[in-house]
Amino acid sequence: MYSLDVVGHQATRERLLLRLQEGRIRGSLLFTGPEGIGKRRVALELAQRELCFRRTACGQCEGCRMFQGEDLPFELPNLLRITPEGKAGVIRIDQIREGLDSNNQPRFSRGVIEWAALAPPMACHRWILVEEAHRLNESSGNILLKTLEEPPPGTHFILVTHRPEALLQTIRSRCERIPFAPLAPREAWTVALRNGWQEADHERWSALGEGSLRFLDEVAFRRAEAQVEAWLALLAGRPFTEWAAPLLPEKEAVLAQGEQLRQPLELLLRLLADLARIRAGEAPALAPWREALAPLATPQRDLKAPQAAVLEALRHLPRNLSPEPLLREVALTLVS
């Protein structure tokens, strides 16, 4: 009864299926947990199973083929997907109200609220999947509130996010939270092997991913590796100008510069936490870098100041327009 393409979260998937079969599933659900662990894929499985000719999300029939591939349609017979748009990466009010993209071009035939009120296909529900729901802006979030509180019969909203604290509190209060834990290391590596990864990268890939699939793309993985090496160099007192390049946003990337800064800053927090672990005689989470971390975990090194600087920078990322000065300021706290 489950898709072979989905790895892990078996207990959660079984509970969701049982509640759905018994008519006990809430109209608005909030899937939370670390980034890249498969929350979105579990949400898609609920809709896929209904269109599967075998009702199992088999992955082989014509019904299942509609759910395959990277370019998943925004609208399927029983599914509507809402995703962030544009360089700022937000979900805007016209996407909710009129189904338009960032260029005011139709993405699907009706606005979300009108689509939700339509009768579902035979033996199906209507599923509305809001991906990266923390990117709802205040206006788009507010327009969803009433429908989230009382979805039409047969309609279910699933909001997926790894940052639930960034959602409006009024949205969080209208949804039942379904927490997802990271994948077990063997589960994550099973998916990596399917995607062509080799054993030579196993340790570093698993350590960086923390039970997630964020780094299935090799370019993203190599960039994260380079960011770790850059922070280690800066912790060792190397010049910022020589080592800052991997930390700086890529100007031509789709994602806004502020959001690109989130990953290197979060990696620095992990390195600082590992320095504290080594001081306490514990093994670091980023074990493949232990040899480089160990000499940096001296008792005289201040860990609180850089941790505070990183947390402050993360709080202000949406408003920050000067990545280099921000990173330089954080880097100064590493050697003070």
* DSSP secondary structure string for all residues of 144-184: HHHHHHSPPTTEEEEEEES-GGGS-HHHHHHSEEEE-PPPP
| Distance from C-alpha of 142 to C-alpha of 124, rounded to nearest angstrom | 28
Q: Provide CATH code, domain 10-179.
A: 3.40.50.300
What residue ranges of the chain have pLDDT lower than 70?
1-2, 87, 99-106, 109, 318-321, 336
Q: How far is CA 161 from CA 41, 270, 279, in A?
A: 12, 21, 34
Which regions of the chain carry the CATH code 3.40.50.300?
Answer: 10-179
For residue 187, the one-letter residue type is E
* pLDDT value of residue 6: 86
Q: Give which of 16, 13, 19 is closest to 38, Cα–Cα.
A: 13
Give the C-alpha separation, 78 to 65, whole Å.
14
Would you give the DSSP letter of residue 217? S
Assign residue 33 a region: left if phi > 0, alpha if psi is -120 to 50, beta otherwise?
left
Closest CA to 266 of 222, 226, 228: 228
At residue 90, the pLDDT reads 85
Q: Structure tokens of 191?
A: 């998916």
User: Are the C-beta atoms of 81 and 75 separated by less than 8 Å?
Assistant: yes
Structure tokens at 313: 């920078």
d(CA 17, CA 271) in angstroms, rounded, equals: 39
